[in-house]
Amino acid sequence: MRVAISGLRELCRSFVHLLYPSTCAVCHEGLAVGEEVLCTACLYDIPRTRSWNSPDNPVAKQLWGRVPVEQACAYFYFAKGSRYQKLLHMLKYHGRRDIGVFLGQKFGQELMGSALYADVDVVVPVPLHPRKQHQRGYNQSQAIAEGMAQRTGWRVESNVLFRHRFTQTQTQKSREERLQNVANAFGVRRAEHLAGRHVLLVDDVITTGATLEHCVQVLVEGCPDIRVSVAALAFAGGS
């Protein structure tokens, strides 16, 4: 039996290796022992924003006057044509959930060193539309949140903030109705799980900030005494 289990384990390992070949996701060079997902050089060169060290950074400024957030930051700049752009693409469309966990760990490590995030309790991933999650097989923001939690010890809470399952087709609606639909896309249940907490809301990329804005709104309105900070893996709002 023991032999069978170890054989199975070996088979799983080979299968994982097949799924996640041991080459760097950015430069495609072979990974050295101890490296995963990115080689040391590509990891070193990620255009980090360092926005977690300052309260008035470009990510935070994008949300100012829109919703009450404690802090906001992103891990790296997401520039079109950058060799790091494909990381998000692989995470979202090519089954590379491991990229989200790995970068979430690195991001979590940085946040641990910032006094601005010292009293965060819980990480809440932005939920995907249920249909999209079914197609993709996972929520990429959940993967990032899990990686963060592994390094910070924060709890991941995925059952409070949810996305409504709209059935009507969007194409029949006017522009205003569609915008309204997006604004009403999120809801909160079992709010007591987040009451009184400092929550870090996590998304893969912040572009206009609209999704995060709606999520913060719903959390603040639905959960008593909650404080919300925001962290995106990538910031596409300009550098």
Residues making contact with Zn ion (CB under 5 A): 24, 26-27, 39, 42
The nearest distance, CB 136 to Zn ion, in angstroms, is 25
Q: Which is nearer to Zn ion, 9 or 17 (CB)?
A: 17
The nearest distance, CB 59 to Zn ion, in angstroms, is 26
The nearest distance, CB 31 to Zn ion, in angstroms, is 8
Q: Which is nearer to Zn ion, 24 or 87 (CB)?
A: 24
The nearest distance, CB 20 to Zn ion, in angstroms, is 15
Distances (CA, A) of 21 to 29, 31, 98, 159, 172: 11, 9, 12, 33, 44
Pairing of strands 186-188, 198-206: unpaired
User: Biggest alpha carbon distance in the chain?
Assistant: 63
Q: Which is nearer to Zn ion, 25 or 101 (CB)?
A: 25
The nearest distance, CB 79 to Zn ion, in angstroms, is 17
Q: H-type helices in 84-226, by residue range?
A: 85-93, 97-112, 130-136, 140-152, 175-183, 210-222
Task: Render the burial of 122-153: b for 16+ CB within 10 Å, e for the rest.
Answer: bbbbbbbeeeeeeeeeebbbbbbbbbbbebbe
Q: Which is nearer to Zn ion, 39 or 60 (CB)?
A: 39
Q: Which is nearer to Zn ion, 38 or 120 (CB)?
A: 38
DSSP 30: B
CA-atom Rg of the chain in angstroms: 19
